Amino acid sequence: MGQNKDAEQLAALDEFIEGRVIAEVIGVVKSGKEATVYCCRPYREDTGLIAAKIYRDRDVRRFSNDAPYMEGRTRGMRRRDQLAIATKSRAGRKISFGHWVEQEWRTLSTLYQAGCDVPRPLAHSGRVILMEYAGDEDGAAQTLNATDLETDECERVFDVVIRNIELMLACDVIHADLSAFNVLYRDGEVRIIDFPQAVDPRFNSSALSLLDRDVARICQYAAHLGIVRDGQAIVRDLWSRFLRSEL
């Protein structure tokens, strides 16, 4: 069964192989409840390695409590589609699934163009997002939670992540699931990943609490390495400047 599921997931990459974007799938980087990420060799030799994020089938993958993240996202949708999503009908689950993938693609594209430290988005399809791979064939960049940094470097990385949170907010984006588990670190470089649950603070009533949680988790990581920061003060400053359009 496991091999069948792997084959089914890899089949989602066929169009990129046939389109001469991907030459070879090297192996699994990460397998989670919502998606599996593969390291792929590009067809063009002058292109770096590719990370292919393949979302699990909509009837298999589950995001924990979608509701706080969906608020505000259905603006502009047809009333019929909004109702289908709200009632979680079969059609609604299909629409919602496509929306999660499209949401992450649009968010990555927006943030990359704004100068945020996120993987460079390359291409996407119904359930796949291709992006810059953080690492090399010997291994992927580590997540912050698996990295023991020296105090000075921890302070620098903390400041980089907070600056990224500020840049995101300036783009009307809150990550909404940020922690040391989805910040990659390698050779001094930071990449923030996993944006399907990102929210628009202009249209989501949970935005401030989600921002507070993001900052608190990064502060907890820093505190683990002896760096103490006032997360609530950081959030108050960011939010007040956001409300005044001063970011």
pLDDT in 10s for each residue of the chain, 247 residues: 345 556 777 889 999 999 999 999 999 999 887 889 999 999 988 789 999 999 887 554 454 456 666 665 655 555 654 554 555 555 445 545 556 788 899 999 999 999 999 999 999 998 899 999 999 988 899 999 999 899 999 999 999 999 999 999 999 999 999 999 999 999 999 999 999 899 999 999 999 999 999 999 999 999 999 999 999 999 999 999 999 999 9
Neighbour count for residue 182 (Cβ, 10 Å): 17
Give me the pLDDT at residue 68, please. 66
Question: Could you give the angle at the alpha carbon of 134 between the alpha carbons of 214 and 124, nearest 5°?
Answer: 85
Give CA–CA dist 169/164, Å, rounded.
Answer: 8
Give me the pLDDT at residue 187, please. 92
Pick the CATH number of 2-243 from 3.40.50.1100, 1.10.510.10, 1.20.120.140, 1.20.1740.10: 1.10.510.10
Task: Give per-residue pLDDT as tens, 215-232.
Answer: 999 999 999 999 999 999
As given in the structure block, the two tokens for residue 241 are 């400047």
Q: Where are the domains of the chain?
A: 2-243
* b/e 75-85 (16+ beta carbons within 10 angstroms → b): eeeeeeebebb
What are the backbone dihedrals phi and psi of residue 230, each rounded to the nearest 5 degrees, phi first?
-90, 95
Give CA–CA dist 141/29, Å, rounded.
Answer: 10
Give me the pLDDT at residue 60, please. 44
Give me the pLDDT at residue 39, please. 96
Give CA–CA dist 243/230, Å, rounded.
Answer: 20
CA quadruple 128, 131, 137, 139: dihedral positive or negative? Answer: negative
